[in-house]
Amino acid sequence: MRTSHRAALAAAVAFAGLSAAIMPTNSAADTRTAFADQAVRAGLTADQVAGLRQRVDAYVDATDGRRIALNKIALKGGTILVTVPGETYARELNGPPARSAPTNALAASCPYLYFCGWKGSNRSGDQWNISKCDVLQEIPDGWNSGGSWQNNQSRGTQAFMYNKNRDWIYTTPPAPYGPVNGNWGPVWYVQAC
């Protein structure tokens, strides 16, 4: 039902150009305006916004997350930050313009008290941040190989990785540790601590 509702809303505003391309899962006018502002500040074209929206919607549908910015999804115990089209590293689009400057030259950072994973090596690509200790988090769909991670939790905290059967396969070194290039292929779940 959510998908058909979203399609109906998008069709109703198709004449609005860029606004239709950034139609969020929450259809409130103020949210649309905030997302439109993020797209303008980032210098994105309508085609780039549409492509970003499709990628974000795929994560939202797969995780039952909630879009909280043009390229950011809130999850139970974490977030996913989707890379802006044409850029290498994930970055926040919902901050003030000075904080939202392109960061292609700098690898993405991992917030303190989080375990972070990236789809690509060297902290590149879409970023997944988790911090809730008592929840076994499924890694994002499509992260089948390559990738990188960082344990930036409180000093000494370790994260645990599990396979598709939820069998333990790896314990990270104590925080702070990383970034580490690795392989998400055998990993299906991570418990932050």
Per cent of the chain over pLDDT 90 is 61
Quick check: is 98 in a domain? no
Judgement on whether residues 119 and 187 belong to the same structural domain of the protein: yes
pLDDT at 78: 93
Tens digits of residue pLDDT in 30-65: 566 778 888 888 889 999 999 999 999 999 999 989
193 and 170 Cβ atoms separated by less than 8 Å = no
Distance CA 59, CA 57 (A): 5
Domain holding 128, by residue range, is 114-191
pLDDT above 70 covers a percentage of the chain that reads: 77
Amino acid at 190: V
pLDDT at 49: 92
Q: Are 153 and 159 in contact (CB under 8 A)?
A: yes
**Is 106 within a domain?**
no
pLDDT of amino acid 97: 47
Q: Does 25 score more than 90 pLDDT?
A: no
pLDDT at 1: 34
136 within some domain: yes
What string of DSSP letters covers 46-115? HHHHHHHHHHHHHHHHHHT-EEEETTEEEETTEEEEPPPTT-SB---SSS-TTTTS--TTSPPP--TTEE
Q: What is residue 30's predicted lDDT score, i.e. its pLDDT?
A: 53
Q: What is the pLDDT of residues 140-192, one digit of tens each?
A: 988 999 999 999 999 999 999 999 999 999 999 999 999 899 999 999 999 99
Instruction: Give pLDDT, residue 102.
Output: 47
Contacts of residue 96, Cβ cutoff 8 Å, sequence gap at least 6: none
Copy the structure tokens of residue 70.
């043009």
Between 100 and 149, whose confidence is greater? 149
Within a domain: residue 75? no
Whether 11 is covered by a domain: the verdict is: yes
Asked whether residue 121 carries a pLDDT value surpassing 60, the answer given is yes
> Is residue 132 situated within a structural domain?
yes
Q: Which residue has the higher pLDDT, 30 or 77?
A: 77
**Averaged pLDDT of the chain:** 81
- Report yes or no on 180 lying in a domain: yes
- Total domain count, the chain: 2
Confirm whether 74 is domain-assigned: no
